[in-house]
Structure 1
């Protein structure tokens, strides 16, 4: 699997389409703002390819106390084939020994895609993430915070990362 670092100059239409179709609109930052943040926030935006075929991408916000796994997407038609597992394995290896945190749509919230959320949650648990028992809500969407590596994650950590993001982009 080939990895390519995404820069503002290389953020192409195919990656944008995956971003805009893989995540609910309420979880998306407008594409042009996200591309601008690559350099401003020093984001680790990586696309994964099989030859020239885009498989998926990850966006990690490296921080001193933990790395924030911000976005992780695999093309819908390629899901269930172990490719997401391969990408996650590469990401875990890249940040080995460091604390890594992610948020995901809560598997405990009643919704139309509850089964999908539960599968995603189980996927992360199988891969060494643990629940932090920190939950945040955006409008009616509950997010579960998961963590891998040393340390803990608190509401104060959440507030800090949101505060950092607000320095670069405001979604109000």
Structure 2
């Protein structure tokens, strides 16, 4: 199995991926379809998906930034969850490059949030407990999240540099 990159919203499997994206993430954490079409044009943005025996498995949306690979969104289809495909996608992603990886998780306020954190930790990600906020995509609120990093934890200073250098690119595209 291999991750394949979508480059346009008219590519095969975009519709299935977009449906999963809208189902898997809260409105305030998602791009609009027009916003997604804009970022697809950026050379450092990757919309990758996995197909297994002609079945859509899931996707990983990520940015190739100067210091990090930043996972913007990651999801697997409901029908195949808990069958090891999420682990397969992330291990493939991890092993494709030596650059450190960042991703965001919700605060561990529910058992589902904690399970998600535990999943990433089993793959070697470290939970960084630094204050971290991202802009809502629907209003002026800031959303409290946490950052996980691979292969090592990051300092508050490194996180602040990431925010200053990359949030304008990630959240205003």
Query: Same fold, TM exceeding 0.5?
Result: yes
User: Are the aligned partners of 1:60 and 1:67 in contact in 2 as well (CA < 8 Å)?
Assistant: yes
Q: After superposition, what is the alpha-carbon deviation per residue over 1:107-143, rounded to whole angstroms, capped at 9, x for unaligned? A: 1x3xxxx111100101111111112222323537421
Contact 1:49 1:55 in 2 (8 A): yes
Runs of 5+ in structure 1 lacking a partner? Answer: none
Within the candidate set 163, 168, 171, 1:158 is matched to: 163
How high is the TM-score relative to the length of structure 1?
0.85
User: 1:151: Cα distance to partner?
Assistant: 7.3
Which residue, 127, 131, 138 being the options, matches 2:127?
131
Aligned to 2:7: 7
Structure 1 segments, 4+ long, off by >6 Å, are none
Equivalent position to 1:39, from 41, 53, 67: 41
* 1:154 partner SS: helix
The runs of 5 or more residues in structure 2 that have no matched partner are 135-140
User: Aligned equivalents of 1:58 and 1:81: distance in 2?
Assistant: 17
Taking the aligned partners of 1:13 and 1:133, their CA distance within structure 2 comes to: 36
Aligned-residue Cα RMSD (Å) equals: 1.9
Aligned length: 162
Contact 1:2 1:51 in 2 (8 A): no
1:87-166 residue pairs with structure 2 within 5 A?
87-95=89-97, 97-107=98-108, 109=109, 114-138=110-134, 139=141, 141-149=143-151, 152=154, 153-166=158-171
